[in-house]
Amino acid sequence: MKKSASRFDRQFTLKEIFSVQKMKRIEQALSALLGCQVVLLDLETVPDPDAQHVEILWELEPIAYLASPSAQLDQLRAGAELILILLKEAVQYRMASELHLETIASDYEVLQEKHRELQKSEQRYRELSGRLEEKVAQQVKILEEAQRKIYQSEKLASVGQLAAGVAHELNSPLAFIQHNLTAAKDYLQSLDLFFTAVLHGRDLEAVHDAWEEEDIDFIRTDFPVLFDSCLDGVKRLSSIISDLKVFSNINREHLTRDDVNRRLQTVLAMLKPQIGKEVELVVKFSDLPEIYCYPSYLGQVFYNLIQNGIQAIEGKGKVTITTFASQDEVCISVGDTGIGIKEEHLARIFEPFFTTKEVGQGTGLGLSVIHDIVQAHQGTVEVQSEPDKGSVFTISLPVDPEINNSRGHKQRGGGQL
């Protein structure tokens, strides 16, 4: 982790963060917004001395220039502030992505090392057959510990996307709250000027002129609107934070009753930023009894499964989430109209590290983790799929695992998280 810290705690250059194409797009967008030509320059390029320019500061150090032959300094400063926001978002996303990749690579290297040790052990087992059972038990324990660490890293695999989406959802209400409060501050200054005129005992005509000059009629009308808008923003922020608390289930890693529909609604709220306009989301919830489960682990299952459905769609498509009750079980179905799964791959999709994605595009652990968590709840997961038509995953979970135990339900996957 020291390696990561040293790389993140440094001064980035503009070219490291933005490609040439992205810089051009930013220039075009700012030029259109400001109504004049602007140019984004790195520190190696000296601005035209006849043009106005401002520095873009990162942690009090210049990282780039924003220049224009015709823009006002105030316009350039506003543009620089907007670019700085984009820079910070890009760097945060890069840091989260690189940290995730390092975590995966580190855990994978640990597993590889354990695998090499196991290969050496196998040779010794052939020579020492009398101690085979003891040695195998020791190695199994080591592998189980490594597996738990890998499952944790898989949970981190979605943190980068989740963090970026939540940041976007939080920034939107924060932005208009900030804008409204800035306007409210200006209104207070205008009111202060008007009341100063009144308190100094000016004649009625002078007070009336001050009223007109400071546009008090408009302020009286707009002030309540500003505060109502701010309250709406605060409610939106509160809703996002509430969804995050439910999704994470801090300090609730024990078996407890939970509402599956509510859990799915929270997961969908977390996934909302990742659902593009091309993907239609269809939700069909039935009344369900609460079930005994590990809520945060089920949240991880639903998150990974719905995210897989979204990612399986190329172009326009639909993801359908359905819940229904069946005897002493609740069932959750997630279907998509994506690329589907080939018949020869269906038997292996729940195997650890099996993936049809390109190298670096997936760990091959997502469905394996889903399978293990569902089995630990004494449930089942089934899949139906057809290439180019889509897939449907159906999870069945007992309302009360103890009922299944009393009926002789065959426990799979250890039954413990």
Task: Categorize the per-residue pLDDT at 3 as very low, low, confident or very high, splitting at 50, 70 and 90.
Answer: very low
Residue with tokens 């089920």: 298
Task: Categorize the per-residue pLDDT at 30 as very low, low, confident or very high, splitting at 50, 70 and 90.
Answer: confident
DSSP one-letter code for 253: -
CATH number of 256-415: 3.30.565.10
**Which residues have CB under 8 Å from 266's CB, separation 6+?**
243, 246, 247, 299
d(CA 150, CA 300): 14
d(CA 114, CA 219): 70
d(CA 75, CA 69): 12
- Asked if 68 contacts 56 with a C-beta cutoff of 8 angstroms, the reply is no
Q: Is 322 helix (H, G, I), strand (E, B) or coil?
A: strand
pLDDT given at position 290: 93
pLDDT one-digit tens code per residue, 93-149: 888 888 888 888 888 888 888 878 888 777 776 667 656 677 777 777 777 676 566
Q: Is the pLDDT of residue 34 over 80?
A: yes
Closest CA to 151 of 270, 296, 255: 296
Pairing of strands 390-398, 39-42: unpaired
pLDDT given at position 189: 78
Sign of the CA dihedral with 165 first, then 373, 350, and 149 last? positive
pLDDT given at position 358: 54
pLDDT given at position 220: 77
pLDDT one-digit tens code per residue, 260-308: 999 899 888 878 877 878 899 999 999 999 998 888 788 888 988 998 8
Q: Is 375 exposed, middle or buried (0-12, 13-18, 19+ CB in 10 A)?
A: middle
Q: What single string gives the DSSP state of each residue in 22-72?
A: HHHHHHHHHHHHHTS--EEEETTSPPPTTSEEEEEEETTEEEEEEEESS--
pLDDT given at position 261: 94
Residue predicted with more confidence, 250 or 348: 348
pLDDT given at position 357: 59
Task: Categorize the per-residue pLDDT at 251 as very low, low, confident or very high, splitting at 50, 70 and 90.
Answer: very low
pLDDT one-digit tens code per residue, 172-186: 677 777 777 787 777
Residue predicted with more confidence, 86 or 202: 86
Q: Is the pLDDT of residue 314 over 70?
A: yes
Q: Is the pLDDT of residue 41 over 90?
A: no
Tell me what the pLDDT averaged over the chain comes to: 77
